[in-house]
């Protein structure tokens, strides 16, 4: 199969609701502190507060996107909910069952239901094993004998993810990055999981290949009724796959909202800054001079996070209360939870406190688009690719609908794209 085939990323249609299912995963106060040890006696001298109190739910059939800057704890969160890491505190429930501290034996039956796709398709596949062995491994580990045998099932999985079943005996190095990620996806799907946690599933791939893999994940969700938690630092990828999005900052969720609400009207200043750094191609605004918010300063260390609101050292709206009192994540609008004393697009939650901290006056800068253009080049390429693919998908869909209304066959172009996708 060639990786250079036609690409369409289906944007979820407005109003489509996949969030109405039962609660599959429930996370309460989840924490992971990595101890820092020093000296001969390896005494603990501190801890990295990688994940520091997360509360969220994932409903059956939905996709929860998780975004945030590097080091904010996204991967740690993914490893905690798949129980590849032991939480320091809090609770993880899967289908109503407390799995927070289950041991290897207790987790074994659950390993079938919860799977993870890793970021790097190069290091996550054992180079000494054939892809048949790699994709068949979960059956052996779980002692499951699929109908027709493991080989037949692996070949079926290969064709499900768009690879040639004949390549069963080939080694990972014989495949491209996009194809290797498909192998990783096939392995994750082997045991017919309910929840798939994908940690940066496309960030190691070329922009053109990213769209194909995102497209494949989306198709598989439709066909197999999967539930996803998709971790990414790229907001344009998350936008097209998620029903809801959680924005993380220094081990906390600062905003958790329905996708459309988050993009149309972000309420947390950090979300606003993250979004304003993403160029959204809009032909209507081609000649308009726009400005973006550029956050100054580095992300503080998770070893000793700032007091109160952790964002107060970089927030241009920070007041005294932000420094002293941690804002709770509360639902300020239906479908939009925010942790902020002075949210955007909403009534002030601490109206008595109006004096800006000195740091706030220097925290952010409004920068003209052209200045940022260079640094945002990669981001822009991804955004443009995703937007173009989404538009193409919409056009094809609209054409198919028109044709269907006429009672005739779908246009040739639609068929070609679909066939290519199925190959």
Ligand X SMILES: Nc1ncnc2c1ncn2[C@@H]1O[C@H](COP(=O)(O)OP(=O)(O)OP(=O)(O)O)[C@@H](O)[C@H]1O
Residue that is written with structure tokens 């990783």 in the block: 184
Q: Give the start-end residues of each E strand in 121-186.
A: none
Q: Is 259 in the site for ligand SF4 (CB under 6 A)?
A: no
Rg (CA), the chain: 23
**Among residues 301 and 375, whose Cβ is nearest to ligand X?**
301
Q: Is the CB of 74 or the CB of 187 nearer to Mg ion?
A: 74
49 contributes a contact to ligand SF4 by CB under 6 A: no
5 binds, among Mg ion, ligand SF4, ligand X, none (CB under 5 to 8 A by kind): none
CA 318 to CA 309: how far, in whole Å? 9
76 binds Mg ion (CB under 5 A): no
Task: Determine the Cα–Cα distance for residues 390 and 410; give it in Å rounded to an integer.
Answer: 19
Q: Is 295 in the site for ligand SF4 (CB under 6 A)?
A: no
Residue 325 C-beta: closest distance to ligand SF4, Å: 8
Q: Does 73 help bind ligand SF4 (rule: CB under 6 A)?
A: no
Residue (123 or 354) nearer to ligand SF4, CB: 354
Q: Considering only CA atoms, which of 415, 413, 257, 238 is closest in space to residue 334?
A: 257
Which of Mg ion, ligand X, ligand SF4, none is residue 318 near (CB under 5 to 8 Å by kind)? Answer: ligand SF4
204 vs 340 by CB, closer to ligand SF4: 340
DSSP 319: B
Question: Residue 231: in which H helix or E strand, if any?
Answer: strand 227-231
Q: Which of 342, 372, 382, 392 binds ligand SF4 (CB under 6 A)?
A: 342
Which residues 78-137 are close enough to bind ligand SF4 by CB under 6 A? none
- Nearer to ligand X by C-beta: 254 or 389? 254
Angstrom distance (rounded) from CA 346 to CA 317 = 14
Q: Residue 121 or residue 302: which is nearer to ligand X going by CB?
A: 302
Q: How far is the CB of 93 from ligand SF4 (least distance, A)?
A: 29
> Tokens for 4?
């250079």
Which is nearest to 83 in space by CA: 197, 200, 221?
Answer: 197
Q: Please, what is the Cα angle at 253 between 369 and 234, to 5 degrees?
A: 40
* Stretch of 36-44, 132-140, 298-306, 337-345 contacting ligand SF4, by CB under 6 A: 337-345
Q: Which of 198/267 has CB closer to Mg ion?
A: 198
Cβ-based nearer residue to ligand SF4, 269 or 302: 269
Pairing of strands 23-38, 43-59: antiparallel
Count the Cβ atoms, other than its own, within 10 Å of residue 247. 26
Name residue, tokens 């009534």. 347
Nearest approach in angstroms of CB 48 to ligand X is 4
Closest by CA to 341, choosing from 228, 170, 332, 365, is 332
Rounded to the nearest whole angstrom, what is the least distance from the CB of residue 80 to ligand X in the complex? 9
**What's the closest the beta carbon of residue 132 comes to ligand X, in angstroms?**
30
| Cβ(42)–Cβ(98) below 8 Å | no
Selected binder of Mg ion within 75, 124, 212, 221 (CB under 5 A): 75
With CB under 6 A as the contact rule, the residue among 72, 163, 257, 315 that binds ligand SF4 is 315
Q: Which two tokens stand for residue 3?
A: 């990786």
Helix or strand or coil: residue 403? helix
Q: Which residue is nearest to Mg ion (CB)?
A: 75
312 binds ligand SF4 (CB under 6 A): yes
- Which of Mg ion, ligand X, ligand SF4, none binds 182 (CB below 5-8 Å, type-dependent)? none
Asked if 105 contacts 270 with a C-beta cutoff of 8 angstroms, the reply is: no
Near ligand SF4 by CB under 6 A, which window of 76-84, 143-151, 289-297, 335-343? 335-343
| 249 touches ligand SF4 (CB under 6 A) | no
Question: Which residues, in sequence order, are bridge partners of residue 26?
Answer: 57, 93
Options 27, 340, 372, 389; binder of ligand SF4; rule CB under 6 A: 340
In the complex with ligand SF4, the residue whose CB is nearer, 118 or 311, is 311
Among 327, 383, 386, 390, contact with ligand SF4 (rule: CB under 6 A) = 327
Residue in the structure block whose two tokens are 């969720």: 253
Q: Count the helices and strands in the chain (H runs, E runs).
A: 14, 14
CA 134 to chain centroid: 24
Nearer to ligand X, 85 or 350 (CB): 85
**Structural tokens at position 7:** 């690409």
Q: 362-373: string of b/e by CB count within 10 Å (b at 16+)?
A: ebbeeeeeeebe
Binding of residue 154 to ligand SF4 (CB under 6 A): no
List contacts with Mg ion (CB under 5 A).
75
List contacts with ligand SF4 (CB under 6 A).
268-269, 309, 311-312, 315, 317-318, 322, 327, 340-342
């Amino acid at each position: 199969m060639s990786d250079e085939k036609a690409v369409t990323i289906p944007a979820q249609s407005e109003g489509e609701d996949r969030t109405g299912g039962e609660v599959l995963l429930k996370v309460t106060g989840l924490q992971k502190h990595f101890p820092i040890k020093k000296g001969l006696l390896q005494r603990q001298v501190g801890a990295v507060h990688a994940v520091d109190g997360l509360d969220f739910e994932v409903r059956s059939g939905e996709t929860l996107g998780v975004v945030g800057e590097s080091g904010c704890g996204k991967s740690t969160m993914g490893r905690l909910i798949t129980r590849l890491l032991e939480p320091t505190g809090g609770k993880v429930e899967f289908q109503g069952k407390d799995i927070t501290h289950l041991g290897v034996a207790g987790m074994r039956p659950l390993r079938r239901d919860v799977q993870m796709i890793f970021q790097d398709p190069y290091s996550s596949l054992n180079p000494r094993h054939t892809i048949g062995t790699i994709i068949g491994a979960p059956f052996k580990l779980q002692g499951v004998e699929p109908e027709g045998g493991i080989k037949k099932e692996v070949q079926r999985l290969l064709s499900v993810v768009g690879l040639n079943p004949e390549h069963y005996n080939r080694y990972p190095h014989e495949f491209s990055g996009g194809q290797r990620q498909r192998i990783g996806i096939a392995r994750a799907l082997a045991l017919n999981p309910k929840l798939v946690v994908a940690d940066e599933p496309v960030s190691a791939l070329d922009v053109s290949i990213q769209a194909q893999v995102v497209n494949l994940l989306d198709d598989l969700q439709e066909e197999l009724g999967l539930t996803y938690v998709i971790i990414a630092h790229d907001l344009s990828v998350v936008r097209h796959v998620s029903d809801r999005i959680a924005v993380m900052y220094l081990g906390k969720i600062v905003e958790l909202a329905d996708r459309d609400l988050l993009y149309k009207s972000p309420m947390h200043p950090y979300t606003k800054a993250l979004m304003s750094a993403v160029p959204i191609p809009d032909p209507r605004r081609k000649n308009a001079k726009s400005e973006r918010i550029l956050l100054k300063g580095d992300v503080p260390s998770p070893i000793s996070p700032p007091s109160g609101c952790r964002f107060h050292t970089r927030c241009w709206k920070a007041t005294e209360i932000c420094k002293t009192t941690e804002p709770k994540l509360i639902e300020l609008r239906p479908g939009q939870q925010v942790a902020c004393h002075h949210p955007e697009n909403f009534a002030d939650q601490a109206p008595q406190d109006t004096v800006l901290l000195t740091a706030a006056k220097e925290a952010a800068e409004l920068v003209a688009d052209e200045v940022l253009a260079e640094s945002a080049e990669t981001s822009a390429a991804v955004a443009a690719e995703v937007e173009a693919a989404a538009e193409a998908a919409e056009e094809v869909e609209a054409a198919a609908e028109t044709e269907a209304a006429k009672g005739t066959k779908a246009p040739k172009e639609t068929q070609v794209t679909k066939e290519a996708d199925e190959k």
